[in-house]
Structure 1
Amino acid sequence: MAGHGLARVLSKRGHCSRSEGERLVRAGRVRVDGRIVRDPEHRTGEDARIEVDDAGIAQEAFRYLALNKPRGLVTTRHDPEGRPTVYSCLDGLDLPHVAPVGRLDRASEGLLLFTNDTGWASAVLEGDGAPLKRYHVQIDRAADERLLAVLTRGAEDRGERLAAREARLLRTGTRNAWLEIVLDEGRNRHIRRLLQTQGVEVLRLVRVAIGSLALGDLAKGSVRDLTVDEVRMLGRGN
């Protein structure tokens, strides 16, 4: 049978997250073509008539957003520890349910994308030719060519091979330095862990570009819609 699980379809239509959709379905609050369905994995066609609490759920228009994430926010909708989340930057905006495209950890800053287009998000994150991610990283010591070579050659950490696609020195002093690091994959805390294998600590980490999309002069904590051309380019891996 064609289609996707009902909870996923609710998410794809921008009504809620997939986990929230699962809770709604199990609570008997969702009808498909007039019939209550309690199985979140029930195969549901894209054109099915879906109601939640007797209100019809239509496909929302796709939205594509860029946020300049401030330091100190976690990349999740609800944090069990009660910490502030990136969704605080979206308060007051008229948006469908949008989800982050990838993550930036709590201590990291910079360009973070949101969308309700799950297919596009997958292409940006892990599709063939997914766009490179570019970071500016301040470290706690001076840097030299040996360190840059190690970053691109890679190192083992907890059974994973971590490496940068590119690494170059932006500027250095006697006590700290700024590096530009480019990743073609995004493992958990990738850059921090890679540098820690060399005894180097990160002082600041800012994602400055995803593919051809640069953070630019977007103010910290501010959000803007992507242009049609930006959406198209990122979906192609540029």
Structure 2
Amino acid sequence: MLSAMLPVSAPQPDESGLFFVAKPPSSRPPSRPSGTRGASGKGPRRLARPAGEGPRRSAKSGREAREDTRRERAPARAGERRPPRASGTSGASGPSGDKRRPPTDKRRDAKTAANAAQERRPVRPPRKISHGANLPRAVATPKKPGEPQRIAKLLARAGIASRRDVERMIADGRIARDGVLIDTPATLLTSLHGITVDGNPVKEPAPAKLFRFHKPAGTLTAARDPKGRPTIYDRLPADLPRLMPIGRLDYNTEGLLLLTTDGELKRQMELPSSSIERTYRARAFGEISQTQLEDLVEGIEIDGIRYGKIDANLERRTGRNQWIELTLTEGKNREVRRVLEHFGLEVSRLIRTSYGPFELADLPMGGVDQIRAHDLVAFRKSLGGGGGD
């Protein structure tokens, strides 16, 4: 009964005359046509390119392709020669192949030579920067005691004479070394051993000494004067060592004048880069206000000469006469007088009351005394240079 209800196709003969039974239709969907996607696809599949139109996709499996790529990238073993990579094959540079040109023997040899030269080049040690290399000359690192120095400098430090006077003495044939005359001031020495002046041996320089001197007005800050005017050395006691003035004071200027036995100390204190403060008191006739004096803090230019910062204060006034206190660091020639004369004032008296930490205080006119050694040592540690008016 059940078999009678199902449709059964009749047997059909094949080409050989035999009969076969037709199978019922399968529920499996028909296969896709070549080059198309299924019902859920997003469009037709791109057909394979014909031969000669570009690189074809490798027929190897993914694992085999990765092994080939790894083998190509690995460095060649000694004596191994690899076949050139075919153009169009996939390489490290992408699907279009490795476009980098392999280096020729000439380029390879040049690169190898350059690398070898780089390895042979000596390694330079890091450059040592001298702490005094970029500083002003006044505060540059001084030479060590054992280094050679010019003979004029050593004799000046020993208190024989100034550098210029030493040069003149050398030209006159007064200085010798081990009995042989020295003919040039550029002679370099490490010490004064064997040096004679006028046949007398020169001793090594003693520790520097510094003196205060209350210079009176009407004396010249010089060793000699062609006009015959009195100098500071005419007022100094005869039992003092040879002293050199630090800076200068005008012929009519009075007050504190520092004297030293050390030429190097003199030079350092005279240079403007030392920025040592000096204070003056001026008695001037005329009219001036505190506001005008305060403007000097910014400096002033007079007749093309630029004067730096001046701290000026009006102390007291009597009629048209006033006392003005001025503190400066440059100390150009006649600086205080020229600045006050620029305001129409007539300076009748000018006194220097201090130079750095050293003050005139109650030192009498024409008096002189020595700065204590420990005060000088403390001052030299913070030294920067200076000058005078």
Choose 118-127 or 198-207, whichever is displaced more: 118-127
% identical aligned pairs: 31
The match for 2:248 among 92, 100, 103 is 103
Q: Structure 1 length as normaliser, TM-score?
A: 0.90
Number of aligned pairs?
237
Structure 1: 5+ residue runs without aligned partners? none
- Higher relative CO (Cα under 8 Å, sequence separation at least 6) belongs to 1
- 1:82 counterpart letter in structure 2: G
Q: Alpha-carbon deviation of 1:103?
A: 0.6
Q: What is the Cα deviation at residue 23 of structure 1?
A: 2.2
Please identify which structure carries the higher strand content. Answer: 1
Q: Which of 318, 332, 335 lines up with 1:187 in the alignment?
A: 332
**Tell me, which stretches of 5 or more residues in structure 2 are unaligned?**
1-146, 385-389
> Aligned pair 1:87/2:233, yes or no?
yes
Q: CA deviation at 1:214?
A: 1.0
48-57 vs 102-111, which moves further: 48-57
Pair 1:19 & 2:164 matched: yes
Cα distance in 1 for residues equivalent to 2:211 and 2:308 = 29
1:173 paired with 2:342, answer: no
Please tell me the residue identity of whatever aligns with 1:151. Answer: L
User: How big is the shift at 1:17?
Assistant: 2.4
Structure-2 separation of matches of 1:223 and 1:45: 34
Provide the aligned C-alpha RMSD in A.
2.1
The equivalent residue for 1:116 is 261
Instruction: Tell me if structure 1 keeps the 8 A contact 2:192–2:202.
Output: no
Q: Is the counterpart of residue 71 in structure 1 residue 217 in structure 2? A: yes
Following superposition of structure 1 onto structure 2, how do residues 133-144 of structure 1 map, counting pairs within 5 Å? 133-144=278-289
State the Cα distance separating 1:82 from its structure 2 match: 1.0
Q: What does 1:205-216 correspond to in 2, within 5 Å?
A: 205-216=350-361
The structure having more radius of gyration, on CA atoms, is 2
Worse overlay, 221-230 or 137-146: 137-146
- Normalised TM-score (structure 2): 0.57
Aligned pair in 2 of structure 1 residues 128, 22: CA closer, same or farther (>3 Å)?
Answer: closer
Distance change in 2, residues 1:176/1:102 (3 Å): same
Counterpart residue identity of residue 84, structure 1 = P
Contact 1:171 1:179 in 2 (8 A): yes
Correspondent of 1:54 among 191, 194, 199: 199
Partner of 2:174: 29
8 Å contact kept, 1:124–1:234: no
Cα distance change on mapping 1:179 and 1:192 into 2, 3 Å: same
The answer on whether the counterparts of 1:155 and 1:197 sit within 8 Å (CA) in structure 2 is no
Map 1:36-51 to 2 at 5 A: 36-51=181-196
The one-letter code sitting in structure 1 at the alignment partner of 2:351 is V
